[in-house]
Amino acid sequence: MRRNNLLIITALILIAIGLTELYFIGKSYFFSQLSKVLIFVAFLGVLSPFMKKEHILNYGPFLYHISLVLLVIVLIVGKGKVNRWINLGFMQLQPSEIAKLGLILILSKILSDNKKPTKSRLIKASFYTLIPFILVLLQPDLGTALTFLFIAFLMSWLSGIDPFITRLIILTPITMIASAHLVSTLILYLLLLVFLLISKEAIYKKVLTIGFLTIVSLSTPFVWQKVLKPYQRDRLTAFLNPEKSKSKEGWQIYQAKIAIGSGGIFGKGPGRGTQKGLAFLPAAHTDFIFSSMGEEFGLIGLIIILTAFMAFLSFLLRKIELEEGQEKLIIAGIFACFFFHFTVNILSNLSLLPVVGIPLPFITYGGSHLLIELTAILIILKLED
Amino acid sequence: MNKIRLLRASLWLVLTIILIRLVQFQVIEHRYLLQKATYNFLKEYKIHAPRGKIYDRNGILLASWKPAFRIMAIPKFLKDEDYKTLQELLGNLPIDPDTLKNKGNYVEIKGNLPYEETIKLLEKSINIKSIVIDADPVRVHTPYSKYAAHLIGYVSEASKEEIKRFNLDPGDFIGKAGVERSFDSLLRGEDGARFIALDSRGNVVSLNPRPPEEPVEGEEIFLTIDIKLQALLDSLFEKYPRGAAFGMNIKTGEVIIFYSKPYFNPESLITRWTDYVSDKEKPLLNRVLQGLYPPGSTFKLITTLVGLYTGTLKENTVYYCPGGFTFGNRTWLCWRTEGHGSLNLIEAIAQSCNVYFNNVGARIGTQKFIETLDSFNLPEKTGIDLIGEYTVLIPTSKLLKNRLLLPSSVINWSIGQGEIQVTPAWMALVTGLIAGNGKCPEPIVRKGDKPKYLYLNLPPKYFEIVKEGMRMVVESPQGTAGYLYDPSFKIAGKTGTAQNPHGKEHSWFTCFFPYDDPTYVLTVVVENAGHGSEAAAPIAINIAKRIMNEEK
């Protein structure tokens, strides 16, 4: 029980750091976010005594289906270019965040159902993952859609899938990236052939692997050229050379780099950052809050933040190790979600990944992700009862 | 369990990558990036969105935009000698240096510069490093636009109150009248922004350090009017200096004719602004919606409805007109001083006999007249989708509050004189209510909009009587517009000759057509042009024929 305190303490530290930075970016962000924190904590505090472990284990499908309905509503109601939010008055609800929790809970139920054979469990799980994936992709919100895939992959992998399928899943993104150039594609195939020659797998699996990856490497350039619009392509590649990029995204990534770098080891001091604000880092409070903190708190400040995240994530890993069955899978899904957000957000701040609009857990301005993160912590605590 | 170990390893791998990258940025490249951040001194200024284009119903362009040049500067960085140089080159600048000394962002020093002046300036201002010359869209009009000047309206720089109310910036333009004003939010579009990098002294380092945010052009508006008909109407008004005309389709609410004379020329509004403001003929006044005229005999249509409703008047009621009507110790002369003799209601409308309607009014009585109009609940405005329409003055208890009422007031009202004042558009709407047996849409000026409907709940029989009278105005040889009768064109109308304190009578004609299937109403007022039958009726009937031809 004492170890659970670590979970709460690290989360509170991260929330406090996030609020501090929001205060220096803009007081209105600070007060708005603070009120959300207080409302959510109060809400979950009231909810907590009524929440039983059985509810968490059994009500997943209910939450999942509600979130699907909300995702459909968002697509129908939203008239603008990006259809992500439902206006609740005091905050904009992002149903895709609820869907993350819904997906984790329903997958945990499906994948831990020992009465069914592994294969049928996996097919069912894939089906339940694809629906929210497609709905969110239509918004369009690539980052959140990929989060669903990562959660589903990690949970299935832990519940035990054929290494052959795991390999296919891991090789898919690698093949997609490699297909950007002929040489990298050839190298990949060469390595793959060597591996398949050595391995003692059934021949049909080898044929399937080659066939599947050939389809991926041939269709990727087609999707890239014909399906994606130029601005979407630019968004995905801007991080490779932000200084030269002509797009708004590239410019922001470059400004994020200047922000972090100019902060140095000790930072410019709270409120002293010059990069944030309208002209340089318009998204200082959302996508690029990590850069903003890097500028003001320096390397030392960032190391404190990273330590808190590492403690939080390591603790979740330890929990996965200790739990069994459905509980284990729920925590694994929660870990997957946090790990993916943490990694993708920070790496995109460091010009190492494209910016796909993924929040930094506990810190980024916004209510929906915070509500889900706090609920996830409550769920972990309740699973021990 | 080795899967967990693998996950833990990837977590540490991610941390390692992050730390390596942070050391690269924050330790190794720190000095270089800090320098970048220090030199980053970015200022933004607005790029105005081009205003949406305005077309007539047939797609003829009326208002558009073109780029003009403007000079921008950050006052804080503008040295006194620079300001003097600019003054020498440009003449008086609209902004004085002292009020702006401390403004830290870009301000427009002068806008709407002609091309030659810009070139001249560019050659000589190379030494002034802190100014920026940039293109900005301005409103331009086609020559046709003047025929609908009051409907289109105009734009000019937003006033202090407007800046506050609509959240604008100084130098922004806003529609001040007509469609430009009423549909401003549609036409406005979305402004963009451009960025300029400056060093700490305010010198321009880079003109495009960050991709600009492109403005979005405002929406196009297709008006319901036919500009060619407006031009034709203008030629028919040639002899007359002042007047107005308003026509609408009473099935759709679409305004077909919207004409006010004298008009301003939107093409040269800015250069001739002071002339227009001081002109005694008031070219800026929108006479269609803001011209309040005594309606004269056109109001007899309403008197008839009041009479029929109160029961004072029947279709076969006959009065004798000796050429004048005496009430108390005052006598009102009929316009035909030799008298009309005995007339029934239809004949009285057709020949516009004042004495007949004086008799009707006297029998209704001032108080009953007001009560009846109150119960009719006539609109006080047409409800057109334009801002600035004036309320009419008709004898209802609300509009006549605090006015001295005499038993003889109704004698004047019955023939559209006395306190009564209406706009041409309102008279057209009333004509529409009669033609549509009590139902008429509120006028709309933008194609595709759906109008609301107005109602005058009276028995259809009453409207049929009034319409029959209006038909005889044109078809009867004795009718006031009888001399314009054309057997091939079925039209019904009413003339009006409104006495006023400004000279000769105003000439009115209000009509609907075709008679068998009322589709259009048209009202024409010609100021100080005498009898309705002389000036307004020929213009209206001419235009009415053209409207029907266009429909074919």
Minimum-distance CB partner of B18 among A246, A255, A306: A306
Mutate to test the interface with A, among B6, B14, B196 (most CBs of A within 10 A): B14
Sorted by sequence, the CB contacts under 8 Å of residue B161 that are 6+ apart come out as none
- Kindly report which listed range (A21-35, B30-44, B207-221, B259-273) carries the lowest average pLDDT score: B30-44
Confidence at A182, pLDDT banded by 50, 70, 90: confident
Give the pLDDT mean for B376-393. 94
8 Å CB contact of B30 and A310: no
8 Å CB contact of A310 and B23: no
- A310-341 pLDDT per residue, tens: 999 999 999 999 888 899 999 999 999 999 99
Chain Cα centroid distance, residue B394: 23
End-to-end CA distance of chain B: 87
Altogether, the residues listed in chain B come to a count of 552
- Kindly report which listed range (A41-45, B38-42, B146-150, B406-410) carries the lowest average pLDDT score: B38-42
Residue B126 forms contact with A (CB below 8 Å): no
| Per-residue model confidence (pLDDT) at position A338 | 97
* Beta pairing class for B453-455 and B330-333: unpaired
- Kindly report which listed range (A50-54, A242-246, B42-46, B439-443) carries the lowest average pLDDT score: A242-246
Q: How far apart are CA B535 and CA A308, in angstroms?
A: 89
Mutate to test the interface with A, among B2, B7, B45 (most CBs of A within 10 A): B7
Q: How far apart are CA B456 and CA A109, in angstroms?
A: 68
**pTM for the structure as a whole:** 0.63
Mutate to test the interface with A, among B12, B19, B26 (most CBs of A within 10 A): B26
Confidence at B451, pLDDT banded by 50, 70, 90: very high
User: CB neighbours (10 Å) of residue B343?
Assistant: 20
- Kindly report which listed range (A150-154, A157-161, B177-181, B287-291) carries the lowest average pLDDT score: A157-161
Residue B98 forms contact with A (CB below 8 Å): no
| Per-residue model confidence (pLDDT) at position B111 | 75
Confidence at A1, pLDDT banded by 50, 70, 90: very low
| Mean pLDDT of chain B, nearest integer | 89
Q: How far apart are CA B222 and CA B151, in angstroms?
A: 12
| Per-residue model confidence (pLDDT) at position B465 | 95
| Chain B closest-CA separation from residue A253 CA (Å) | 12
Confidence at A152, pLDDT banded by 50, 70, 90: very high
Give me the percent of chain B exceeding a pLDDT of 90: 63
| Mean pLDDT of chain A, nearest integer | 88
Residue A343 forms contact with B (CB below 8 Å): yes
Residue B40 forms contact with A (CB below 8 Å): yes
| Per-residue model confidence (pLDDT) at position A141 | 86
B16: pLDDT strictly greater than 80 = yes
Confidence at B212, pLDDT banded by 50, 70, 90: confident
Residue B2 forms contact with A (CB below 8 Å): no
8 Å CB contact of B11 and A314: yes
Residue B11 forms contact with A (CB below 8 Å): yes
Confidence at A278, pLDDT banded by 50, 70, 90: very low
3-state secondary structure of B151: helix
Give me the percent of chain A exceeding a pLDDT of 90: 46
| Per-residue model confidence (pLDDT) at position B20 | 95
Domains of chain B in sequence order: 43-222 (3.90.1310.10), 227-267+282-551 (3.40.710.10)
Reference B8, options A51, A115, A338, A313; nearest CA is A313
| Per-residue model confidence (pLDDT) at position A272 | 79
B367: pLDDT strictly greater than 70 = yes
Mutate to test the interface with A, among B8, B11, B44 (most CBs of A within 10 A): B11
For B484, the enclosing helix (H) or strand (E) is none
Task: Provide, as residue numbers in chain B, all residues whose Cβ is less than 8 Å from the Cβ of A350.
Answer: 18, 21-22, 25
- Kindly report which listed range (A60-69, A83-92, A152-161, B134-143) carries the lowest average pLDDT score: A83-92
Chain Cα centroid distance, residue A104: 13
- A344-368 pLDDT per residue, tens: 999 999 999 998 889 999 999 988 9
B453: pLDDT strictly greater than 70 = yes
For B284, the enclosing helix (H) or strand (E) is none
Model-level ipTM above the cut of 0.85: yes
A317-326 long-range contacts, CB within 8 A, separation 24+: A317/B4, A317/B7, A317/B8, A317/B11, A318/A3, A319/A380, A320/A158, A320/B4, A320/B7, A321/B1, A321/B4, A323/A383, A325/A112, A326/A57, A326/A108, A326/A109, A326/A112
- Residue B93 burial by Cβ neighbours in a 10 Å radius (0-12, 13-18, 19+): middle
- Kindly report which listed range (A159-173, B60-74, B99-113, B162-176) carries the lowest average pLDDT score: B99-113
Sorted by sequence, the CB contacts under 8 Å of residue B426 that are 6+ apart come out as B379, B381, B382, B392
- Kindly report which listed range (A31-45, A107-121, B442-456) carries the lowest average pLDDT score: A107-121
Q: Are B356 and B343 in contact (CB under 8 A)?
A: yes
| Per-residue model confidence (pLDDT) at position B91 | 73
DSSP B42: E
- A203-237 pLDDT per residue, tens: 888 888 888 888 888 888 888 888 887 777 887 88
SS3 per residue for chain A: CHHHHHHHHHHHHHHHHHHHHHHHHCHHHHHHHHHHHHHHHHHHHHHHHHCCHHHHHHCHHHHHHHHHHHHHHHHHHCCCCCCCCEECCCCEECHHHHHHHHHHHHHHHHHCCCCCCHHHHHHHHHHHHHHHHHHHHCCCCHHHHHHHHHHHHHHHHHHHCCHHHHHHHHHHHHHHHHCCCHHHHHHHHHHHHHHHHHCCCCHHHHHHHHHHHHHHHHHHHHHHHHHCCHHHHHHHHHHHCCCCCCCHHHHHHHHHHHHHHHHCCCCCCCCCCCCEECCCECCCCCCCHHHHHHHHHHHHHHHHHHHHHHHHHHHHHHHHHHCCHHHHHHHHHHHHHHHHHHHHHHHHHCCCCCCCCCCCCCCCCCHHHHHHHHHHHHHHHHHCC
Torsion sign over Cα A278, A281, A283, A286: negative
| Per-residue model confidence (pLDDT) at position B199 | 60
8 Å CB contact of B7 and A294: no
Task: Provide, as residue numbers in chain B, all residues whose Cβ is less than 8 Å from the Cβ of A295.
Answer: 37
Task: Provide, as residue numbers in chain B, all residues whose Cβ is less than 8 Å from the Cβ of A251.
Answer: 210-211
